Structure 1
Amino acid sequence: MSLTSLHPAPAVLRPRQNADLGARLATSAAAVDGVHLTTADIVDWLAERGRAHTFQVDRIPFAALDGWSFEPDTGNLRHRTGRFFTVEGLHVKQEGEPLGDGPAAAWHQPIIVQPEVGILGILAKEFDGVLHFLMQAKMEPGNPNLLQLSPTVQATRSNYTGAHRGAAVRYLEHFRGPLRGRVLADSLQSEHGSWFYRKSNRNMVVEATGDIPPHEDFRWMTLGQINALLHHDNAVNMDSRTVLSCLPPAGGPLPHAVLGDTELLSWITGERSRHHVRARRVPLAGLPGWTTDEHAISHDAQRYFQVIAVAVRAGNREVSGWTQPLIAPVGLSVAAFLRRKFGGVPHLLVHARVEGGFLDTVELGPTVQCTPGNHAHLAPEQRPRFLDAVLDAPAEAVRYEAVHAEEGGRFYHAEARYLIVDADEDTAPADPPPGYAWVTPGQLSALARHGHYLNVQARTLLACLNALPEAR
């Protein structure tokens, strides 16, 4: 059984076409300059687009939110239209085997509830025999630097159906309806399971036909150029990273793995079976362990995150000004893969993570995914497993490192230090502890072609791994 046959694939690419696409992606990844722009030109263009528009984000009290209010009966934070999203309470309790290296056995927290499925889509087109991708310079209120490289289309259903009463979403017709081109990737993927309740987005890459003139906030660039920008802090946004991770591996056949494909699928199924987690939406008002004042909803221990409110001005968005709630994490988080070679083949140590907002209880995450400050008060043996191995790794073992922002449309200054670190038997044993498994990058790429197997942090790291020179 192959990982590529997990589910019936959309009518997109036959096996031979997949092989051809891998070769085309490898060519695009090797192209450090595009037909239209050099990589240096892209950096300058991003800076220029930041100067060309008015961007301003200010924190405000909840009372200053326009159209948002706390419901009198539940205390849930909701928009008057009933659209967009709500901030509610969540009670999570594990009822199966102990979670071990996961979260506490039971807890309460605020959670974003946004049941609609959005579209994250990148348009592709070949120029002079090289595949290029149409990327957007997009402002998001939660981005630390506001403007980052985003997909061609990044829109919730409320956005593209006009609930915000703003301008139409550009290039949307290439991802919906009869004008849609050749689909190169298409899967439903989860968002952050710690902050969203069962939220999914449709991740798509579509190859366009005909002439596609770019708007001034959009530019065609090669995969090699995007990969170069992945080495910059806060340049490529989370939505771009997750879509790119869904492309098939660039290059040849997948190498031999420690776990065969059937073994890996069986291990994932076993992890999902032994973790019985009950996540129940509850009123936000009076949520145990959390306090609401006029400016924030905060954890009583001042850990994890806050819910805040902001006022936004943005000259290049479908709507030029609005207010909204955002989740604001407390501290810089870390997401890291430990990497080892077995039989000469690189493997990554994945963790079967339980998060309260997941649709299917468990998704594969990085070896380490946490905010170290949230665990600083704990004894070393109580800290997340492998955290010290990542934080104390010598410089020569760090193969990739950059700070990337998470979803800027819902999270305020949510940043993570993303790392890929070479390990040995002392730091990451060949026989890993329960809940962990060694998996090849190719196997992860195959899983990313299907929904709800890799969490968003693992998908980011997969995109970053593909940006390393040895991946080409």
Structure 2
Amino acid sequence: MADLDPDLDITARLARSAAAVESPLTDLAGFDDWFAEYGQQVYTTAERVPLAALHQWYETPVTGDLRHRSGKFFTVHGLRVHDPGNAVPWWDQPIIDQPEVGILGILVKEFDGVPHCLMQAKAEPGNPGGLQLSPTVQATRSNYTGVHKGKPVPYLDYFRDTSRHRVIADVRQSEQGAWFHRKRNRNIAVETTEEVEVLEGFRWFTLGQLYLLLARDDIVNMDARTVLACLPHASRAEGALHRTTDVLSWLTGARSLATVSVERIALKALDEWRHTEMGYSHESGGFFDVIGVSVTAAGREVGRWCQPMIEPHGTGVIAFLTREIGGAPHVLMHARTEPGYADVVELAPTVQCVPASYAWLPPAARPRHLDEVLAAGPDRIRFEALLSEEGGRFFHARNRYLIVDSDVPEDPGHPDYRWLSLDQLTRLLSHSHYLNVQARSLVACLRGLEATRSVR
């Protein structure tokens, strides 16, 4: 790596990339035309089909669990959740069990003194609008080891053998704990000085350009957002309300005292869920469904496949309440329990919910601070975008992501909430299972808000 200036550390160089909104490699003025043109060549269409019609999938005779005949990819089974301290003390639900650790990787290379990220325009069957910008590599272990018998994953070797390159970030992180059972992916960014052939559908972007695109609806996908959040970031360390050791102790205490327990059960044994030929749905008509889709794709490793997917009911609200404390920006974080987390509790946004779901839940279950977020006027909303979740497993799962200025006091009045500085969030992101995937998305949005404020 001798070609890189040893006097500039990666954090400073990434800050330079975050400030750069123009690049000789990619002109954002022509981005929409490129995206639309490429979308005519690369796309997916998903047709709903009965579960029994899912080619290479089957419902196991005893449990009804959905499995792939290869024994790979993922399984959909039932989960019974007990949480005596919750407003809803128990419930049943379907959940995706995908024990493989996939790779979400961004390749970085410096051009004219500015680090750029190689991003891919990728179509997923669950994306609401077709193409989205994904990491350089976004692949499950089953995919990159060729279980699907499709084309090899481009650029994979940069992340499987990093010995010739500089690792910028490398950490295992969780995904949605309400829909995945202990799902983890390797979030990795690698910098190279080698010549890189740019394949069709890939382009180099500065961080500043990605941050501008992140403020647009359904452009930067969830997998890209989580890797961007894990990158090193310079922020103001002074003025944190709580010492980091106290924050870690608070989270460890929440994990130690959590009363939630989960039990795997047969999918066909779920209480309060209806099983029809088209899938599984809650008898209330809310929450989410498990559906089957037949996918036709162009420009993917495989041209046709079938799979189960989760389809949520309603658009979610994911929000950070923010304020400045002691001269440093702080975010009100929630120590949140979800049944699929590997370590019981992770730090979540201030608000993370689908408001429509509470029509079927007791009033005590309504999230704290939701009403404040919903009532926030334009003068308090610093960021707002409609962003979709992982389109490979979730069908049209969209959330309204917000960053809202707040006057919630330094003592938020509830033991599950605490103000953390942006610097503390950055340090926690270098470790596994501290910030959940929704919080990581909002950290990327918050960084983008700060970096591109002068050009908005």
| Same fold? TM cut 0.5 | yes
Q: Which of 450, 455, 459 in structure 1 is aligned with 2:431? A: 450
Structure 1 residue 245, shift from structure 2 partner: 0.4
List runs of 5+ in structure 1 lacking aligned partners. Answer: 1-11
Work out whether 1:227 is the aligned partner of 2:217. no
Distance 2:6 2:438 in 1: 29
Asked whether the equivalents of residues 241 and 420 of structure 2 are also in contact (C-alpha less than 8 Å), the reply is yes
Distance 2:93 2:25 in 1: 47
Provide the TM-score with structure 2 as the length reference.
0.95
Distance 1:232 1:178 in 2: 33
Matches within 5 A, 1:58-97: 58-94=47-83
Structure 1 residue 118, shift from structure 2 partner: 0.2
Deviations 1:48-94 (A, max 9, x none): 21012353221111122101111001110011111100100011113
Q: Which of 7, 22, 26 in structure 1 is aligned with 2:11? A: 22
Q: 1:460 — aligned with what?
A: 441
What letter is aligned with 2:75? T
Matches within 5 A, 1:139-150: 139-150=123-134
Identity percentage of aligned residues: 53
Distance 1:305 1:367 in 2: 22
Work out whether 1:423 is the aligned partner of 2:406. yes
What letter is aligned with 2:350? T
Distance 1:429 1:20 in 2: 34
Structure 1 residue 165, shift from structure 2 partner: 0.3
Distance 1:467 1:332 in 2: 23
Asked whether the equivalents of residues 94 and 278 of structure 1 are also in contact (C-alpha less than 8 Å), the reply is yes
What letter is aligned with 1:351? H
Q: 1:191 — aligned with what?
A: 175
Deviations 1:131-154 (A, max 9, x none): 000000001100101210000000
Structure 1 residue 26, shift from structure 2 partner: 1.0
Distance 1:371 1:381 in 2: 15
Matches within 5 A, 1:167-206: 167-177=151-161, 181-206=165-190
User: Number of aligned pairs?
Assistant: 450
Q: 1:275 — aligned with what?
A: 258
Q: 1:213 — aligned with what?
A: 197
Distance 1:278 1:140 in 2: 33
What letter is aligned with 1:401? E
Q: 1:115 — aligned with what?
A: 99
Q: 2:115 — aligned with what?
A: 131
Asked whether the equivalents of residues 162 and 190 of structure 2 are also in contact (C-alpha less than 8 Å), the reply is no
Secondary structure class of the residue paired with 1:175:
helix
How has the CA–CA distance of structure 1 residues 471 and 259 changed in structure 2, closer, same or farther, with 3 Å as cutoff? farther
Work out whether 1:255 is the aligned partner of 2:238. yes
How has the CA–CA distance of structure 1 residues 461 and 252 changed in structure 2, closer, same or farther, with 3 Å as cutoff? closer
Q: 1:363 — aligned with what?
A: 346
Secondary structure class of the residue paired with 2:318:
strand
Q: Which of 316, 320, 342 in structure 2 is aligned with 1:333? A: 316
Structure 1 residue 35, shift from structure 2 partner: 2.4
Asked whether the equivalents of residues 75 and 283 of structure 1 are also in contact (C-alpha less than 8 Å), the reply is yes
Structure 1 residue 274, shift from structure 2 partner: 1.1
Structure 1 residue 23, shift from structure 2 partner: 1.0
Q: Which of 355, 363, 366 in structure 2 is aligned with 1:383? A: 366
Deviations 1:390-436 (A, max 9, x none): 000111100000011001000000000000000114xx563431200
Secondary structure class of the residue paired with 1:468:
helix
Q: 1:314 — aligned with what?
A: 297
Asked whether the equivalents of residues 169 and 188 of structure 2 are also in contact (C-alpha less than 8 Å), the reply is yes
Structure 1 residue 276, shift from structure 2 partner: 3.0
Which range moves more in the overlay, 395-404 or 342-351? 342-351
How has the CA–CA distance of structure 1 residues 362 and 422 changed in structure 2, closer, same or farther, with 3 Å as cutoff? same
Q: 1:433 — aligned with what?
A: 414
Q: 2:26 — aligned with what?
A: 37
How has the CA–CA distance of structure 1 residues 171 and 320 changed in structure 2, closer, same or farther, with 3 Å as cutoff? same
Distance 1:117 1:432 in 2: 38
Q: 1:4 — aligned with what?
A: none
Work out whether 1:153 is the aligned partner of 2:153. no
Distance 2:317 2:435 in 1: 17
Provide the TM-score with structure 1 as the length reference.
0.92
Deviations 1:12-58 (A, max 9, x none): 9xxx9897212111110111012211112233222221012353221
What letter is aligned with 1:63? A
Q: 1:106 — aligned with what?
A: 90
Distance 2:92 2:7 in 1: 44
Asked whether the equivalents of residues 42 and 300 of structure 2 are also in contact (C-alpha less than 8 Å), the reply is no
What letter is aligned with 1:357? G
Structure 1 residue 340, shift from structure 2 partner: 1.4
Structure 1 residue 99, shift from structure 2 partner: 3.8
Asked whether the equivalents of residues 304 and 329 of structure 1 are also in contact (C-alpha less than 8 Å), the reply is yes
Distance 2:58 2:376 in 1: 47
How has the CA–CA distance of structure 1 residues 293 and 380 changed in structure 2, closer, same or farther, with 3 Å as cutoff? closer
How has the CA–CA distance of structure 1 residues 345 and 432 changed in structure 2, closer, same or farther, with 3 Å as cutoff? farther
RMSD: 1.9
Which range moves more in the overlay, 367-376 or 47-56? 47-56
Secondary structure class of the residue paired with 2:152:
coil
What letter is aligned with 2:41? A
Structure 1 residue 171, shift from structure 2 partner: 0.2
Asked whether the equivalents of residues 173 and 180 of structure 1 are also in contact (C-alpha less than 8 Å), the reply is no
Distance 1:59 1:246 in 2: 35
How has the CA–CA distance of structure 1 residues 21 and 306 changed in structure 2, closer, same or farther, with 3 Å as cutoff? same
Distance 2:58 2:259 in 1: 34
Structure 1 residue 440, shift from structure 2 partner: 0.8
